[in-house]
Amino acid sequence: MKIFVGCSSRDVGNADYNHVADRVGEWIATSGHDLVFGGCGKGLMGRIFSKVKGHGKIYATQAKVYQDEVIGLDADSIEVIDTINQRKNRYTELADVLVFIPGGIGTLDELISGIETRRSGEHENPIVIVNEGNFFGALLEQLEKIYDEELASESVKKYYYVAKTVDEAIEKLAEICNK
């Protein structure tokens, strides 16, 4: 399967986040899956890329505004796409599963867009949120507030799975990929 991973393109000093990226990359590589990602060889993206390289195919999708990040990247496929929104549509088309680990504003945008486009029927990709160290806790609390205040139906929860640890996420990914 093709696994999209949304995460930071920045080098981070947080050992837990680096561990999450390493474990997800190792799992993709050793399980015979392919990586779809933002096409950056740095940060958490770079850590995952380096784990998968030489094992599965790697599909990089990058918006023109950040196209310098794919220069010299040795991926099987590199697509530079006009806009960020078009890029999100493209990686969603390529991927079979969407996984989100710690990242910045782009990652949060990708996550919320993934949930909304799944809810609206634009794709059927399972979404796995790796909430190691409660990284996504505030966002998940905000979503609960939205459901509690009936601004959205709680039925939206069926479109994503929240794993408390990277190991739990890998168990869920294995389950999804073996269906």
Residue with tokens 């991927």: 95
- Both tokens assigned to 160: 């994503």
Fold classification of 2-177 is Rossmann fold (3.40.50)
d(CA 21, CA 160): 19
Buried b (16+ CB within 10 A) or exposed e, 77-110: ebbbbeebeebbbbbbebbbbbbbbbbeebbeeb
Taking only the tens place, the pLDDT of each residue in 11-29 is 888 999 999 999 999 999 9
Tally of CB atoms within 10 A around 44: 29
Tally of CB atoms within 10 A around 160: 19
**pLDDT of 137:** 98
Confidence of residue 179 (pLDDT cuts 50, 70, 90): confident
Residue with tokens 């549509």: 89
Taking only the tens place, the pLDDT of each residue in 86-123 is 999 999 999 999 999 999 999 999 999 999 999 999 99
Instruction: Classify burial at 152, counting beta carbons within 10 Å of its beta carbon; exposed 0-12, middle 13-18, buried 19 or more.
Output: middle
Of the candidates 39, 6, 24, 38, the one whose C-alpha atom is nearest the C-alpha of residue 114 is 6
**pLDDT of 129:** 98
pTM of the full structure: 0.96
Buried b (16+ CB within 10 A) or exposed e, 127-150: bbbbbbbebbeeeeeebeeeeeee
Radius of gyration of the chain (CA): 15
d(CA 107, CA 73): 20
Helix (H, G, I), strand (E, B) or coil at 40: coil
